[in-house]
């Protein structure tokens, strides 16, 4: 008996489902049949009804209409899809039956759409995508609807909210509902809508609040004050996230300065040499990246992994050659060393112009360094700058470990602390100088690889960073790597906070003037050397 009852229930459910499906199909067929006789004015409400018909064929119809692929036969009013392959062969499909048609009977006319209809179709597709099983598509659809909340009915939103289980999408849908309540002018729902909107950082929410704030005839005086209060809360949050973004960009600039300066800090601390060709070591590293990408065009994804050691070797070898051929004969004469390395920098610039031409070269960024991480609507972090920060810190700590644990690092620290005592202990200071200069130049080459991802590569690339590198070294304390880290990050963040207020040029001038006053009070920098030798 129970089995028979179960069979009856299943039969009733199946019959009811079939009837509902047949009703939906019949409704869709009737709506499609009206397309040939519609104009721009009547097409908009017709498409609205098609989108709400819940027929699976409606999604394809809207997409084909937007692309201009929907036609009809004037004599029979038959509506067709037309597709064209790469060879230009046309194929036709009946919209209602979804059956392929060999040759339509009669001349075809297109169902024409304008920009307004295309925008409407985009909004209707977003509404349909709210029910898509893919979370990414639903989230994208919700953000699309947020740009125009009037394009969706409140009933549709409530149905979706009842089914939705993803918190991020629920938050956006709640904001859309709150915006619709706010724009309706219903004072009874104002408090609830403002409570939801107060926590949103979406630009569309702020724009809507600004519009409602100016609608004095629509809201009461107390409501205007409440809207202004919510708007002030949102602005404070966005301002705070603006500070966070400035800190991030400052750290990325500081990371570049750190890579450019730590090599200079090593050579200046060990040898006391003012190397004016240090910027050209950076330039050589950038051009090495360009050459690697030209030699291996199919390995763009891995080009930076190849360019980093290659740039280190190229710039390091050039640095050793400069030290062996020029600097070792000018020890103890800082002014002559400065002039000689300045001459070397001019030679290297002209050499690059001769080989690569004076024109800037563009280095492509791998796909994994493109794009950004959208933390919230008010804060996004670009991947290339995030990777640069992490890479710079990795190079810094690797250099610390190298100087601490390796025998060369021990010799470098010994020569830096007391050259004469190191010589007395049989340390070959001349070769330590060459290795130190090569190490510092190689790290500058790595800085060039990083800079190639932020700007174009040209013969004057290094000149833009040589002054800042010296500022970092002097501000942090000569020969102190930790001082270089702190000063590079501090100068980078300070620059990014000053630039919006004064402009980039004035920001650099203010930083320079501030450092001049600082050095007058503390000539040895933030972290001066300690010990009896000093």
What tens digit of pLDDT does each residue of 222-259 get?
888 888 888 888 888 888 988 898 899 989 988 988 98
Half-sphere exposure of 448 (CA within 13 A, CB side): 39
Banded pLDDT at 4 (limits 50, 70, 90): low
Query: Which of 326-364 are b and which e, b meaning 16 or more Cβ less than 10 Å from the residue's Cβ?
Result: bbeebbeeeeebeebbeebbeebbeebeeebeeeebebe
> Is 448 a member of any domain?
yes
Single pTM value for the model:
0.73
Rounded distance between C-alpha atoms, residue 311 and residue 345, angstroms: 17
> Is 530 a member of any domain?
no
> Is 315 a member of any domain?
yes
Q: Does 21 have pLDDT greater than 50?
A: no
> Is 367 a member of any domain?
no
> Is 372 a member of any domain?
no
Per residue in 52-109, pLDDT tens? 776 777 777 777 888 888 888 887 778 888 888 777 778 888 878 878 887 776 678 8
Per residue in 278-324, pLDDT tens? 888 999 999 999 999 988 888 888 888 999 999 999 999 999 998 88
Which is it for the CA torsion 121, 126, 131, 135, positive or negative? positive
> Is 233 a member of any domain?
no
Half-sphere exposure of 532 (CA within 13 A, CB side): 1
103 shares a domain with 52: yes
Nearest-5° angle of CA 381, CA 387, CA 393? 120
260 shares a domain with 214: no
Given 3-state DSSP classes, what are the helix, strand and coil percentages for the chain, each rounded to the nearest 5? Answer: 70, 5, 20
The H-or-E segment that residue 373 falls in is strand 372-376
430 shares a domain with 355: yes
424 shares a domain with 299: yes
Q: What tokens were used for 274? A: 């003012």
DSSP state string for 140-177: HHHHHHHT-GGGS-HHHHHHHHHH---HHHHHHHHHHH
> Is 127 a member of any domain?
no
Q: What tokens were used for 221? A: 């005086």
Give the position of tokens 């190490």. 439
Q: How far is CA 445 from CA 74, 257, 314, 344, in A?
A: 70, 13, 8, 16
Q: What tokens were used for 153? A: 């009915």
Q: What tokens were used for 140? A: 């994208």
357 shares a domain with 306: yes
Banded pLDDT at 14 (limits 50, 70, 90): very low
Per residue in 376-421, pLDDT tens? 888 888 888 899 999 999 999 998 888 888 887 787 777 766 677 7
Q: What is the mean pLDDT of residues 499-517?
A: 82
197 shares a domain with 79: no
Q: The domain containing residue 29 runs over which residues? A: 2-116
Per residue in 153-167, pLDDT tens? 777 777 778 878 888
388 shares a domain with 273: yes
> Is 377 a member of any domain?
no
454 shares a domain with 351: yes
Please count the structural domains in the chain. 3
- Report CA 448 to chain centroid distance, whole Å: 21
204 shares a domain with 256: no
Who contacts 149 (Cβ-Cβ below 8 Å, separation ≥6)?
A: 176, 179, 180, 183, 208
């Amino acid at each position: 008996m129970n089995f028979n009852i179960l069979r009856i229930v299943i039969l009733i459910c199946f019959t009811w489902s079939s009837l509902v499906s047949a009703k939906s199909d019949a409704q869709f067929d009737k709506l499609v049949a009206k397309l040939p006789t519609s104009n721009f004015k009547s097409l908009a409400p017709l498409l609205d009804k098609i989108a709400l018909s819940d027929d699976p064929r409606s999604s394809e119809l809207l997409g084909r209409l937007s692309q201009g692929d929907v036609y009809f036969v004037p004599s029979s009013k038959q509506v067709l899809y037309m597709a064209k392959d790469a060879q230009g062969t046309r194929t036709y499909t009946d919209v209602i039956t979804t059956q392929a048609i060999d040759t339509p009977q009669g001349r075809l006319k297109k169902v024409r759409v304008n920009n307004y209809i295309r925008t409407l179709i985009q909004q209707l597709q977003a509404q349909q995508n709210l029910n898509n099983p893919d979370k990414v598509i639903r989230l994208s659809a919700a953000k699309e609807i947020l740009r125009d909340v009037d394009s969706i009915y409140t009933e549709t939103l409530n149905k979706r909210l009842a089914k939705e289980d993803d918190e991020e999408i629920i938050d956006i849908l709640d904001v859309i509902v709150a915006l619709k309540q706010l724009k309706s002018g219903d004072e009874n729902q104002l408090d609830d809508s403002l409570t939801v909107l107060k926590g949103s950082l979406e630009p569309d929410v702020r724009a809507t609040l600004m519009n409602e704030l100016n609608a004095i005839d629509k809201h009461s005086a107390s409501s205007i004050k409440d809207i202004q209060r919510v708007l002030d809360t949102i602005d404070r949050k966005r301002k705070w996230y603006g500070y966070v973004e400035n800190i991030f960009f400052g750290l990325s600039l500081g990371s570049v300065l750190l890579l450019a300066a730590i090599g200079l800090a090593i050579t200046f601390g060990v040898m006391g040499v003012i190397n004016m060709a240090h910027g050209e070591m950076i330039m050589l590293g950038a051009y090495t990246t360009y050459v690697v990408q030209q030699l291996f065009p199919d390995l763009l994804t891995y080009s930076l992994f190849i360019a980093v050691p290659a740039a280190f070797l190229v710039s390091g070898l050039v640095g050793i050659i400069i030290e062996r051929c020029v600097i070792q004969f000018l020890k103890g004469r800082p002014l002559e060393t400065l002039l000689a390395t300045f001459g070397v920098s001019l030679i290297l610039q002209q050499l690059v112009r001769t080989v690569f031409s004076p024109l800037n070269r563009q280095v492509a960024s791998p796909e994994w360094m493109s794009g950004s991480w959208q933390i919230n609507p008010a804060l996004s972090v670009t991947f290339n700058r995030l990777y640069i920060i992490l890479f710079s810190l990795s190079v810094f700590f690797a250099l610390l470990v190298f100087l601490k644990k390796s025998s060369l690092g021990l010799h470098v620290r010994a020569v830096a602390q007391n050259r004469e005592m190191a010589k007395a202990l049989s340390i070959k200071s001349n070769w330590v100088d060459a290795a130190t200069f090569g190490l510092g130049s190689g790290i500058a080459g790595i800085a060039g690889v990083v800079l190639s991802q932020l700007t174009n590569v040209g013969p004057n690339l290094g000149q833009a960073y040589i002054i800042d590198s010296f500022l970092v070294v002097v501000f942090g304390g000569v020969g102190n790597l930790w001082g270089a880290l702190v000063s590079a990050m501090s100068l980078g963040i300070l620059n990014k906070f000053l630039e919006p207020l004064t402009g980039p040029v004035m920001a650099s001038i203010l930083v320079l003037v501030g450092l001049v006053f600082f050095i007058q009070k503390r000539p040895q920098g933030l972290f001066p050397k300690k010990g009896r030798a000093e």
